[in-house]
Amino acid sequence: MKKAEPAEVIPPKKIIIGDKNAPITLVEYGDYESEACGAANVVVEQLLERYAGQIKFIFRHFPLLKFHQRAHKAAEAAIGAAQEGKFWEMHKELFANRRNLGVISLKSHAREAGVASKSFLNDLINGIYGIYVQDDLKEGMKLGVVDIPTFFLNGKKIEGEPTLKNLDNHIRALISPAKAKTAKIGQLEEKIA
């Protein structure tokens, strides 16, 4: 009997929340045990709602293992859930339960998020998605990430606290020039007509 080929894994950098064609990309490096990342997650949800159609969000895993021993497995669980299209559901579930991220609890959280895979726990125990978490860590370090949460907007690191006001100001600064350019083009077209 021929062994089935393993399915291609969707890496975190390709797991996009929001409009995939949106002109603005917000990327966060964080971990699921961090209180600050939990607070930032609420801000991200508000921004996705406020700028629906204009923004897309990508969460990259940056577990600070020195402080958060369970964050790495939680990140693996999120990637595992993403393989069934349940990343965002699992992401929310993990933040809601950030003080309860043991391996058995992760299986329970996955079930709550709608993950149906019978191999989920086995994949988690065997570290199937661990390399993807490591890839995120390495890429974050190359970008200068040292603390979490760290945000990037269209590739540019955002300085300051990840408050709704701060992130909103940065997003509006990106949107305003585009709207101004569109308005100028519209005015020129009116003059020509």
pLDDT tens column, 10-42: 888 899 999 899 999 999 999 999 999 999 999
Determine how many CB atoms are found less than 10 A away from the CB of residue 103. Answer: 14
3-state secondary structure of 28: strand
Give the architecture-level CATH label for domain 12-192. Answer: 3-Layer(aba) Sandwich (3.40)
Amino acid (one-letter) located at 67: F
> In the chain, what are the domain boundaries?
12-192
Tell me the per-residue pLDDT of 60-116, one tens digit each, with 9 for 90 and over.
999 987 888 899 999 999 999 999 999 999 999 999 999 989 888 999 999 999 999
